[in-house]
Every structure is written in C-alpha cells, then in structure tokens.
C-alpha cells in the first residue's frame, strides 16, 4: 500500500511537468510461459503519467520523448519489466510469470496476508493439486496433501461424508471436525439426511471451482473463529476472474472404478459347503443328517454374491469455465455436470453445478462482489442403514450355496420363498433395484459484498450471505420384497431444509509510520443464524410396486418433523504490526454469543498473540549466500468448540411419544444451565527455511494444544432413567510435529519436484470426570477414555489363542491393575485392558512431479502408520460356526483346530459357535497402517505454437489413476476407514482410472 501511495504522489508530480512528445514506440507483449499475447498489460513511461494498456492481441503504441527514457511493463501475476528505450521504435517484451507474487497471498478467512507477513500455521492446497481428480468431495482431495490433516473415507459411496481431523482429536463428545468457511462465510457441512446413510452437503461444491484450500491450524489463525475454531478451520476460496486475457476452458473426463479387494476373499460354494459339513460333523451330527442339511445337490448351483454386488463403476465429468476481466470488472463463471456410478450396485451420485463470481470496481470509493453457486445433486444410496437387504451386507452374508434365480420360474427369488435358505429372507439382486433410497440436494450459496473506501487506506464493507440447502429424501420398499412385505410396501418421503444467513460488517485499514512501522487492523461484526426444519411422511400398503407416490398408499402411517436452529452474534478484531518487515506481531480477539450456550454462560471470549522474526532480514545473515529465507514464528492463544447440540443445555421433555392416539411426553434431556463451549489453548512454534535459490523449502511446526472444558457424555447409572449426562469436565492434549519439505530436484527443460509432508500427533487425556474411566458407549463399549491414555484406546479382551487340548477359545484374565494373568476359556472371566490405539502415530504424503516440455507425470502416495483397527466384520464371517448359513472368509476355513495337540489360530468350528469365540477380542484387532498410491497422473500439453493456429491457448490431455496400489497387512477390503477405526461391512473405496482433456481457448 505504501508503494501505491508513493507511486501516486510521483505520478502527480510528473503530471505537472509538460514534456515534448514527438515519436512513437510500438510492440507486442507476450507471455514467457506459452508465448501467447498479454492483453491489458500496463505500459508506462517511467516517472510520468504517460501510459497505455495493451490491446486484445497484446499490442501497444505509445508516444515517448525524443530522448527516450524507460518503459515499465507490468501485469498482475507477472514480473514487472523495465526496458531502456534508447533509439528503438519497436519494443517487444516477454513477461515472465511471477510465482512469488501468485503464491504469496494467504487467505486467513476475514482477510488475506502475504506469505511473508503470515505468522500463523496454515497449509495451503492449490487448485493445481486438486483439479481434475475425479472425486465428488473436496475433503477427499486434501487427504495426504496438508501436514497434520487426517482425512479418511468411512464409506466409498459416491458423495459420502468424510471424516477430517486437524492436529489430532480435541473433543470427546462434541464435534471433532473442522469448521468450513467458503469465500469468507462459515458454511454448513456434514450429513443432514435421515434415511440415507451418508451424504455430505460439501459434495455440492464443484472442486474444480476452487482456487485454494487453506487449513488454519494454530491459535493465531483459528482464534479469529472464536468458539468454533478449535478443531481447525478449512477455508475454501473459489476462483475469481483476473484482469487480462479471457479464457474459456472446456473439460471432459471419463473414468472407470474397479473393486479394490485388498487382502479380502470370501469362500466359494464348494468351500463353504465342505466347511459347513465339517462344522456339523464337529457338532456331533451323523453323516445322514449332514447330508440332509447340506446335500451334495447344493453344489449344482452355487453363486458368487460378492461379484454380483459389485460392478465396474463409471465416472464422467463435463465442465465449462470462463474467466477474465478488465480493471473495472472481473468474472469467473462455470457450469459442470459430474456423474459417478459406484462400485456397489444401485449406488450413484450426480452433481450439476453453476457458479458465477463477479467483481466490480465502480470508482475509487465503491467496489462490489457477488458469488453465486447453485448446485443440485442426485444420490442413489444402496447401503442405507446397513440393512441386511443392502447389497453391501448381502454380499458377505448370503451363502454361495443359495442361487439367486429360482429354477422353477427362471426369475429372481424374492427371498421369502420357503426354500430360500438365507435367514435375511431377502435377495438383494431382486430387492435392491426395486427399493431405491435416494436423496436430492439443492444448495445455493450466495454472497454479496459491498465495499466503501473511506480513505485510500481505510475501508468498510458489508457482506450478506445465504446458504440454502434443501434435501429431499425418498425411501421405497416394494411390497414384494422382504423389507416391504411386513407393511405391504411402504414409502418414506422426507424434506429437510437448512437456511443459514450471515451478515458481516468489516472495517479494515492500514497505516505506515515513519519508514519502518507498518500497521494494519481489522474489526468485524458478524451475525449468523441457522434454521433447520424437516417434515416427512410415511405411507404403507401399496397395491403395486409400480405405485411410487404417498397418495397411493393405503394407510398414512407416520408424520414426522422437527425444527431446530442456532445463532451466533460475534465481534472480532485483529491488529498486525511489523517493524521494517523484519519483526511481525499479531493480536486478535473475538467475542461470541450463541443460542447454544447455557443461560449462565452466554458469551465467550477468545484471543491470540503471535510474532514472527524474519531472521533473513538481519544484517548478520547477509553473508549466508545459500539461504534465501529464514523465519521463526510463535503463536499462543485460545479458540473454542461450540459444536454441541443446539439445545444441549436444556432440561427437556420431548413429544415424540404417543399412546392410544394421544400425544405423550417423556424426559429427553437433563437440565444443565452451566453447559458451555469447549476451550482449546494452543502454542505453535514454526520455522520456515528456504535455501539454494528457493529450491529447497522446509517448514517445521511444533504444537501443543490443550483442550479443556470438554463436554463429556458422562455415562450415568441407568437407574436415573437416563444413560448419560453432558458435562464440561474433560481435558485432552494434542501435541505434535509437522514437517513439510518441498524440493526442486531438477530444474530446466526436465523438471523434478518433490513435495513431502509428515505429521506426528500424540493424544493424551489429561482429565475426566473424577478421573474415572469412561467406557465409550459410542464405540460399542470397546473404547475407553482414561487419563494418561490416547482417546483412541481400544479396551477389549485379549485373545489368548486356541486351547490345543480341546479346540476351545482362550482369553487372558487380568489382575486388578489390568496386567494379563492366565488364560481362561470363559469369555465372561476374561478381562478387558487397553490393547491398541485407533489413532495413527503419523500420517503424511509425498508427491513427485516430473515434467519435460509438455509432459508431466506425478505420483502421489499417502500413508498412515500405527493405528489399530477393530475388524468387526470378521466376527460375523469368521465366527467359528456361530453364523451357520452365512458365508465365511476363506481364512475361516483354514488353520482351525481338528484334534488334540493342534497348535492353531482358530478354534474348532461348531454349530452355534465355539464358546462365544467370536466375541470382541484382540483376535479381531488389526494393524491399520497403509501406504497407498493415491493418485498417479500423466498429462501432456500440446505445444502452444501448434495449437495457437487453431485458436487454442492450451490443450491438455491426461490419464490418471486413483488408489491403484496399496501396501497393508489389513485383512479387510480397505484400510482407509472412518476415524473410529471400526470396520463393519463398509462400502470400500475403489480404484479409478480416468482419461480427460482440457481445452482452453
């Protein structure tokens, strides 16, 4: 800003001098990158107001004094160039792009700062890293890209909600996910659906519209988000038009997705037949009975249910983007259609999205911006509710001895025939196509911004934003299917509407005192109010499965609905000061009032202080030639987690109950007027080093975040009528180290870049209610919260193998200190103890990009190490006979006990199971570490001189693969799972191979 000021003054003076102009210089300005003309570039005679702007072809013509002078060529995003005129009359200039200028701005939510001035711990993922990756959800795209961000996919259903944890897990009962901010507005995220298993409203945003994703990690950045910042903040910035050349980009991409079986294999028909006969034999049945229960004839028609449930998925994306602008008006508009058919039958996701981002400068005083995004998604969800009738469970539950086609009719069994031997009474090949579970989601994100420049260095702006989400869900049960048979067919229709209104009033200014003191400041008043309403209806009794509407049901069975909401009224301020661009200080403060907080604690105050020291600017560093930058950063501050229930503090009676057609009421929540937000206090120390002409850049961060006042759903004695009560008592610490290393290994025509990041996090519980253990009811009572231990601690019985004498299972008993003592064959005598951690020791990613002329090849691996996964699926498909009539893992039929003395890993399989051998124990706890080739992309940009004749600026063709290779010991389909680390017949993520072309003209 100071430069602008000086320049303005200089121009004023210059204007006062009348100079003779008597000759003309002309020329063309082109881009070094691709040789294309640069329209809209400024050409100014240095020291004067004399200047022009290049035309559409990059040409300019300018009168200059006879004695020449210096021409200054400048354009946003390019390095400014000065040329001595001398006696030349034609001056062509090639401008190089200015990577520093492009990358130096860091979005911090309420403002932007230059990289140089930034003191906070942030990670930035740029559009180049996420564009064209064929995944519907932005959370999937940042996995492994940003240090300290642990992103996982609990389901491979297209459009499914993801789990994101930034710098560990800082809450036990309240929300653990980050806050999402889209173009400066706090946006709704997560799953609002009721009968659909998983749908993320963030999947409505087209990832290709995103310019950058910035992840705020330390208090210096998150304190600005006050009571909502403590789990970290993800800032999504969408693309905006740039002054200069207009571009239109058309993209087309098509791909296929394949099942990723991992180390997982189910038995085939003959194997399960033989195994089950052995189970019967072991259980004392005579051969005649065994022949009756599992006759040879069963092998005549066996069936592979897994192959029937999974298929080759398809992905297609078509998109047009246009952007451009001049000094007054800039625009970015896009339209896209994305469709993905999942690898599971009857699962798909479609998105249609339109965006318009407009910026207008009216004059020196007034500026305006408008962002409008409308998107519509259509999801078909085959896994709703993990029903037995879903193809997902059916694939593993259904025995291969049952063929889906009835030989008498030649058509699918419905599953309700007497001879159908699968206990679910369902044949998903028949029922899944007839029983669609769908949701349609319309989301409109609109933001209007009006800015008034009070002074050149002081402005006030007003932002108004509307986030509208309308979700229509429908669940249909055909009367001829098992799910529909009870009610003779049923239809559920649910509509859920979520409207969030935001108003921000922002005052921003900057001042320079003397030559060395630079100050900028920001004050914001923000109000946000969200209303969430739903209504639904269920009708039962359909004369035919072809009748699809509620009015064709015989009996209106249920009417449901709810309304909830929350509000925040916030004030915040931030001051940045630097001395001589060498010492930087930042302070911020935010006050939040929220409807969610108990009446005794309505307002919350948060703050942070931070400083950085650009050691490089010190005189003593001047001799260190190989070093380009060295910066030390320290921050300390607080932020909160208000992600608690909207009415969590109230003692409530709910009215969902009914008896005899009369409304009934029942206590639903215990009163807690003191209930309030959770608080995190965090310290961050960071070091940024850049050496050897910026070819090696190293970033290191240490952090220590202590979250206190944690809301605990403290389990209470059920004699109270409740099973838990919420209290602010817990305390947990996340501390860790993050390293980012970006190197340019080779430069020139052949370029090789490596980006590597790794993050260690250590999670320790510091305090609980009276420091008593909490056995986590949300984790099926298999996890424990214990002081001094990780929040991911598995607390289950330890498997002690198989008793060689009789083939029965053994578990360890424990003493009062939970040390293992002696084995027991009685599960109820076995003791629980901490046997593993669902949270990884470290996570990270590495990307190598090789480019030569127009070719580019990149490999991106991500890795997770040191987490244990409880594979609950195996309890059902490796049950030692308990699940007789189900299918089994191939391994279940191997290495089991046959005779006394056998030292084996599996008990003797018996009908009904062997002494509850499949009860939860470390038998089913596995190492969840993995290394995955997440993405490999090969692309080729056609030479520009070749395509420019055809009117193109760029043509890029590419092929890429997702999840092509995985290294893991995990026995299930896919080691990548939700942060709970619990497997139960998940929808696995597939392997995708796609081809695409981008045309820019």
Partner 1 sequence: MKNRIVTLILTLGLTAGCQNVLNIEPAQSLSTEEALSDYKSLLTALYGAYDGLQARSYYGRDFLVVPEVGGDNVYVTIDNSNRFLINYRYELNANATQRAFWEQAYDVILRANNIINNIDLAADASDEERNQVLGEALFIRALAHFDLSRLFCAPYAEGTGPETGIPIMLEAKIGTPPRNTLEEVYTQIRADLDAAIPKLTEDVGPYRVTAYAAKALYARVALYQGDNATAEAMATDVIDNGGYSLHPGNDLATFYTTSGNDEEIFTLYRGADETMGSDNLGQIYNPSGYGDIRVTTDIINLYEAGDERGFNPPSGADLIYLYTDGEYYNGKFLGESGVPGLVSTKILRLAEMYLIRAEARVKQGNGTGATADVNVIRNRAGLADFAGTVTLADVLDEKNREFAFEGHRTFDLWRNGLPLVRQQANTGLEVSAPAFIAADSYLRVYPIPQSELDTNPNITQAPGY
Minimum Å distance from CB 672 to partner 1?
11
Q: Please tell me what DSSP assigns to residue 825.
A: S
Per-residue binding letters, 720-749, with partner 1 (x by CB under 8 A):
xxxx-x------------------------
Shorter beta-carbon distance to partner 1: residue 221 or 910: 910
β-strand 23-31 against 93-95: which pairing, if any?
parallel
Q: Does 884 bind partner 1 (CB under 8 A)?
A: yes
Minimum Å distance from CB 565 to partner 1?
5
Candidate list 363, 622, 717, 899; residue touching partner 1; CB under 8 A: 717
Which of the residues 567 through 606 are near partner 1 (CB under 8 A)?
567, 569, 593-595, 602
* Residue bearing tokens 């249909």: 476
Candidate list 410, 663, 748, 951; residue touching partner 1; CB under 8 A: 663
Which of the residues 905 through 964 are near partner 1 (CB under 8 A)?
910-912, 916, 919
Per-residue binding letters, 414-443, with partner 1 (x by CB under 8 A):
--x-x--x-xxx------------------
Which of the residues 28 through 87 are near partner 1 (CB under 8 A)?
none
Minimum Å distance from CB 564 to partner 1?
7
Distance between CA atoms of 867 and 843, rounded to whole angstroms? 10
Please identify, among the stretches 6-14, 155-163, 345-353, 719-727, the one whose residues bind partner 1 according to the rule CB under 8 A.
719-727
Which of the residues 476 through 515 are near partner 1 (CB under 8 A)?
485-487, 503, 505, 507
Minimum Å distance from CB 240 to partner 1?
24
Minimum Å distance from CB 715 to partner 1?
5
Which of the residues 536 through 555 are near partner 1 (CB under 8 A)?
540, 555
For residue 998, what are the β-bridge partners? 251, 956
Shorter beta-carbon distance to partner 1: residue 551 or 719: 719
Minimum Å distance from CB 529 to partner 1?
6
Per-residue binding letters, 615-654, with partner 1 (x by CB under 8 A):
-------------------------------xx--xxxxx
Residue 264 vs residues 267, 300, 394, 398, 988: alpha-carbon distances, Å: 10, 25, 16, 16, 11
Candidate list 61, 563, 778, 898; residue touching partner 1; CB under 8 A: 563
Give the H/E segment covering residue 138: helix 138-141
At 658, give phi and psi (nearest 5°): -155, 150
Residue 643 vs residues 172, 177, 589, 594: alpha-carbon distances, Å: 11, 9, 20, 11
What ranges make up the beta strands (E) of 143-239? 149-152, 163-166, 179-182, 185-187, 210-216, 233-238
Task: Give how far the C-alpha of residue 710 lies from the chain's centroid of Cα atoms, to the nearest Å.
Answer: 24
Shorter beta-carbon distance to partner 1: residue 667 or 900: 667
Please identify, among the stretches 206-214, 255-263, 562-570, 785-793, the one whose residues bind partner 1 according to the rule CB under 8 A.
562-570
At 270, give phi and psi (nearest 5°): -60, -35
Minimum Å distance from CB 137 to partner 1?
30
Distance between CA atoms of 222 and 613, rounded to whole angstroms? 21
Candidate list 289, 312, 580, 694; residue touching partner 1; CB under 8 A: 289
| CA-based max dimension of the chain | 117
Which of the residues 766 through 795 are near partner 1 (CB under 8 A)?
773, 775, 777, 781
At 753, give phi and psi (nearest 5°): -115, 145
Shorter beta-carbon distance to partner 1: residue 534 or 980: 534
Minimum Å distance from CB 981 to partner 1?
20
Q: Does 661 bind partner 1 (CB under 8 A)?
A: yes
Distance between CA atoms of 365 and 327, rounded to whole angstroms? 14
Minimum Å distance from CB 463 to partner 1?
11
Distance between CA atoms of 406 and 425, rounded to whole angstroms? 14
Give the H/E segment covering residue 429: helix 428-434
Minimum Å distance from CB 697 to partner 1?
42
Which of the residues 331 through 360 are near partner 1 (CB under 8 A)?
none
CB half-sphere exposure, 430, CA atoms < 13 A: 23
Minimum Å distance from CB 868 to partner 1?
20
Distance between CA atoms of 498 and 192, rounded to whole angstroms? 9
Which of the residues 664 through 683 are near partner 1 (CB under 8 A)?
664-671
Distance between CA atoms of 931 and 847, rounded to whole angstroms? 13
Sequence-distant contacts of 508-514: CB under 8 A, at least 24 apart = 508/111, 508/458, 508/459, 508/460, 508/461, 509/455, 509/457, 509/458, 509/459, 510/1, 510/457, 510/458, 511/457, 512/1, 512/2
Task: Answer yes or no: are the C-beta atoms of 196 and 174 closer than 8 Å.
Answer: no
Shorter beta-carbon distance to partner 1: residue 336 or 553: 553
Question: In terms of DSSP H, where are the helices of 815-943?
Answer: 873-877
Task: Answer yes or no: are the C-beta atoms of 143 and 932 closer than 8 Å.
Answer: no
Question: In terms of DSSP H, where are the helices of 205-350?
Answer: 219-222, 269-282, 287-293, 305-309
Distance between CA atoms of 712 and 366, rounded to whole angstroms? 49
Minimum Å distance from CB 9 to partner 1?
22
* Whole-number CA gyration radius for the chain: 32
Which of the residues 801 through 830 are near partner 1 (CB under 8 A)?
827-828
Per-residue binding letters, 235-274, with partner 1 (x by CB under 8 A):
----------------------------------------
Residue 636: both structure tokens together? 């300390």
Q: Does 300 bind partner 1 (CB under 8 A)?
A: no
Shorter beta-carbon distance to partner 1: residue 46 or 650: 650
Minimum Å distance from CB 796 to partner 1?
10
Distance between CA atoms of 217 and 122, rounded to whole angstroms? 6
What is the chain's percent helix, strand, coil content, to nearest 5? 15, 50, 35
Minimum Å distance from CB 561 to partner 1?
8
Shorter beta-carbon distance to partner 1: residue 92 or 417: 417
Which of the residues 357 through 396 are near partner 1 (CB under 8 A)?
388
Give how many residues touch partner 1 by CB under 8 A.
Answer: 88
Shorter beta-carbon distance to partner 1: residue 55 or 773: 773
Distance between CA atoms of 700 and 697, rounded to whole angstroms? 10
Give the H/E segment covering residue 484: helix 482-485
Shorter beta-carbon distance to partner 1: residue 881 or 928: 881
Minimum Å distance from CB 650 to partner 1?
6
Candidate list 296, 297, 551, 662; residue touching partner 1; CB under 8 A: 662
* CA-wise closest residue to 71 among 97, 95, 42, 35: 42
Minimum Å distance from CB 554 to partner 1?
9
Shorter beta-carbon distance to partner 1: residue 12 or 657: 657
Residue 918: both structure tokens together? 């499949």
Which of the residues 162 through 221 are near partner 1 (CB under 8 A)?
none
For residue 215, what are the β-bridge partners? 123, 234
Please identify, among the stretches 209-217, 246-254, 282-290, 943-951, the one whose residues bind partner 1 according to the rule CB under 8 A.
282-290
Shorter beta-carbon distance to partner 1: residue 26 or 360: 360
Give the H/E segment covering residue 391: helix 391-397
Residue 937: both structure tokens together? 């992309």
């Amino acid at each position: 800003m100071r430069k602008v000021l000086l320049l303005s003054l200089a121009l004023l003076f210059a204007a006062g001098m009348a100079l003779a102009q008597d000759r003309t210089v002309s020329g063309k300005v082109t881009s070094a990158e691709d040789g294309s003309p640069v329209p809209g570039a400024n050409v100014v005679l240095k020291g004067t107001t004399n200047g022009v702007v290049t035309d559409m072809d990059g040409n300019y013509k300018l009168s200059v004094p006879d004695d020449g002078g210096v021409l200054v060529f400048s354009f946003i995003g390019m390095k400014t160039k000065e040329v001595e005129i001398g006696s030349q009359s034609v001056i062509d200039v090639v401008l190089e792009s200015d990577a520093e200028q492009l990358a130096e701005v860091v979005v911090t939510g309420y403002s932007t700062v230059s990289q140089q001035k930034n003191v906070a711990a942030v990670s930035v993922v740029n559009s180049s890293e996420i564009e064209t990756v064929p995944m519907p959800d932005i959370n999937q795209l940042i996995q492994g890209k940003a240090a300290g961000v642990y992103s996982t996919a609990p389901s491979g259903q297209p459009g499914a909600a993801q789990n994101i944890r930034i710098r560990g897990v800082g809450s036990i009962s309240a929300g653990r996910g980050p806050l999402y901010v889209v173009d400066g507005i706090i946006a709704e995220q997560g799953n609002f659906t009721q009968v659909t298993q998983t749908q993320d409203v963030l999947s409505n945003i087209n990832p290709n519209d995103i310019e950058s994703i910035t992840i705020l990690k330390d208090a210096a950045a998150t304190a600005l988000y006050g009571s909502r910042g403590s789990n970290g903040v993800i800032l999504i910035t969408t693309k905006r038009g740039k002054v200069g050349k207009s571009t239109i980009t058309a993209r087309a991409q098509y791909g296929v997705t394949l099942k990723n079986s991992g180390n997982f294999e189910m038995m085939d028909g003959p194997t399960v037949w033989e195994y089950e006969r052995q189970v019967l034999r072991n259980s004392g049945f005579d051969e005649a009975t065994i022949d009756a229960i599992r006759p040879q004839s069963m092998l005549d028609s066996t069936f592979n249910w897994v192959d029937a449930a999974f298929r080759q998925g398809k992905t297609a994306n078509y998109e047009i983007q246009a952007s451009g602008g001049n000094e007054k008006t800039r625009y970015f508009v896009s339209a896209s259609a994305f469709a993905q058919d999942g690898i599971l039958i009857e699962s798909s996701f479609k998105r249609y999205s339109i965006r318009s981002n407009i910026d207008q400068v009216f004059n020196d005083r007034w500026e305006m911006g408008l962002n409008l995004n409308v998107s519509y998604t259509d999801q078909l969800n085959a896994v709703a509710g993990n029903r037995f009738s879903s193809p997902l469970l059916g694939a593993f539950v259904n025995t291969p001895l049952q063929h889906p086609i009835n030989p008498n009719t030649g058509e699918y069994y419905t599953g309700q025939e007497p001879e159908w031997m699968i206990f679910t009474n369902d044949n998903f090949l028949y029922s899944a196509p007839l029983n669609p579970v769908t949701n349609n989601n319309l989301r409109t994100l609109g933001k209007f911004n009006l800015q008034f420049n009070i002074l050149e260095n002081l402005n006030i702006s007003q932002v108004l934003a509307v986030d509208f989400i309308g979700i229509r869900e429908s669940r249909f049960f055909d009367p001829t299917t098992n799910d529909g048979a009870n009610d003779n067919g049923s239809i559920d229709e649910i509509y859920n509407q979520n409207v969030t209104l935001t108003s921000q009033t922002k005052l921003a200014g900057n001042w320079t005192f003397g030559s060395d003191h630079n100050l900028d400041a920001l004050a914001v008043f923000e109000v946000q109010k969200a209303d969430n309403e739903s209504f639904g209806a269920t009708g039962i009794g359909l004369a035919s499965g072809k009748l699809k509407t509620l009015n064709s049901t015989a009996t209106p069975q249920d009417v449901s609905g709810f309304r909830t909401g929350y509000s925040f009224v916030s004030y915040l301020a931030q001051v940045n000061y630097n001395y001589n661009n060498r010492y930087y200080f930042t302070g911020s403060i935010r006050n939040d009032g929220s409807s969610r907080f108990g009446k005794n604690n309505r307002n919350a105050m948060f703050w942070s202080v931070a400083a950085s020291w650009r050691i490089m600017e010190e005189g003593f560093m001047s001799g260190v030639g190989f070093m380009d930058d060295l910066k030390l950063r320290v921050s300390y501050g607080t932020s909160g987690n208000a992600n608690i229930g909207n009415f969590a503090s109230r003692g409530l009676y709910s009215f969902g109950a009914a008896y005899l057609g009369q409304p009934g009421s029942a206590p639903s929540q215990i009163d807690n007027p003191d209930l309030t937000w959770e608080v995190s206090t965090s310290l961050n120390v960071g070091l940024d080093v850049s050496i050897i002409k910026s070819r090696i850049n190293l970033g290191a961060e240490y952090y220590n975040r202590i979250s206190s006042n944690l809301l605990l759903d403290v389990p209470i004695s059920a004699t109270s009528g409740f099973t838990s009560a919420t209290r602010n008592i817990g305390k947990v610490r996340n501390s860790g180290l993050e390293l980012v290393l970006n190197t340019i290994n080779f430069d020139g025509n052949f370029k090789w870049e490596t980006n590597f990041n790794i993050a260690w996090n250590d999670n320790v519980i510091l305090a609980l209610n009276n420091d008593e253990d909490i056995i986590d009811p949300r984790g099926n009572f298999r996890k424990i919260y214990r002081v001094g231990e990780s929040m991911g601690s598995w607390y289950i019985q330890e498997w002690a193998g198989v008793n060689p004498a009789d083939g029965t299972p053994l578990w360890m008993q424990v003493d009062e200190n939970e040390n293992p003592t002696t084995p027991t064959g009685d599960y109820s005598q076995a003791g629980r103890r901490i046997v593993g951690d669902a949270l990884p020791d470290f996570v990270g990613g590495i990307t190598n990009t090789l480019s030569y002329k127009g070719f580019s090849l990149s490999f991106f691996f991500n890795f997770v190490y040191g987490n244990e996964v409880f594979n609950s699926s195996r309890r059902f498909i490796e049950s030692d006979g308990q699940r007789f009539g189900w299918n089994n893992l191939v391994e279940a039929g191997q290495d089991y006990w046959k005779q006394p003395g056998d030292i084996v890993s599996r008990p003797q399989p018996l009908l009904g199971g062997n002494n509850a051998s499949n009860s939860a124990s470390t038998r089913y706890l596995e190492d969840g570490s993995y290394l995955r080739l997440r993405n490999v992309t090969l692309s080729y940009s056609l030479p520009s001189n070749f395509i420019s004749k055809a009117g193109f600026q760029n043509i890029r063709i590419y092929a890429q693969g997702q999840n092509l290779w995985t290294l893991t010991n995990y026995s299930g389909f896919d080691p990548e799972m939700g942060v709970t680390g619990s497997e139960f017949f998940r929808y696995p993520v597939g392997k995708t191979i796609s081809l695409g072309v981008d045309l820019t003209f």
